[in-house]
Amino acid sequence: MDINKEKNIIRKQIKYIKSKLNAEDKLLLSKPIILNLENNNDFINSTCILAYWSMNDEVNTHAFVQKWSSSKDIYLPVVKGNMLEFRLFTNINNMEKESEFGIFEPKGKILKDYTIIDLAIIPGVAFDNHNNRLGRGLAFYDKILKSIDAKKIGICFNFQILDIIPTENTDIKMDMIISSKP
């Protein structure tokens, strides 16, 4: 089977599972994942982080970003055409809703020097036991992550971790996956 077809089948399966969860369920399932992330040494020792403002089908990062932005520099993605740029999160009032994907994006300063990043916290549709990541299919993160030397941590719900997912040379591996598993 064609690798893109395999990836799309997995995307549809995960989307179906997520569709069975309401917002309250996802928020409840997100809490132990965020706690595991906050207890991770790479996170504890980081001062400059790439993260994301979660969409409604992802591990909820809203409280996490707001909590830690007072003591760490947290940069969030902003969609620019077919690329991502990262902007500093300052506060919830400095966010605006992006029209194409309906994502809230920060209006803070643009990150120009990726060498200052200590840690990248990355969402995904699915991950596997070999730290491979399957995204939404637009390669937004793969394009930017190839130029970031910082540790890359994927965060996800337990059902998003599969034994193996199909990969291509352009897919960027994570250094670690954090879910609610201890």
Each of the 182 residues of the chain gets a pLDDT tens digit; together they read 799 999 999 999 999 999 999 999 999 999 999 999 999 999 999 999 999 999 999 999 999 999 999 999 999 999 888 888 999 999 999 888 876 677 889 999 999 999 999 999 999 999 999 999 999 987 788 888 988 999 999 999 999 999 999 999 989 999 999 999 87
Q: In what order do the strands lie in the sheet with 126-128?
A: 133-134, 126-128, 161-162
CB 51 within 8 A of CB 57: no
For residue 33, give the nearest of 159, 165, 152, 163 by alpha carbon: 159
Which sequence spans correspond to the domains of the chain?
Answer: 3-178
Tokens, residue 120? 């990248």
Query: The pTM is what?
Result: 0.93
- Distance CA(166)–CA(5), nearest Å, equals 10
- Distance CA(84)–CA(79), nearest Å, equals 5
Instruction: Give me the CATH code for the 3-178 domain, please.
Output: 3.40.50.10420
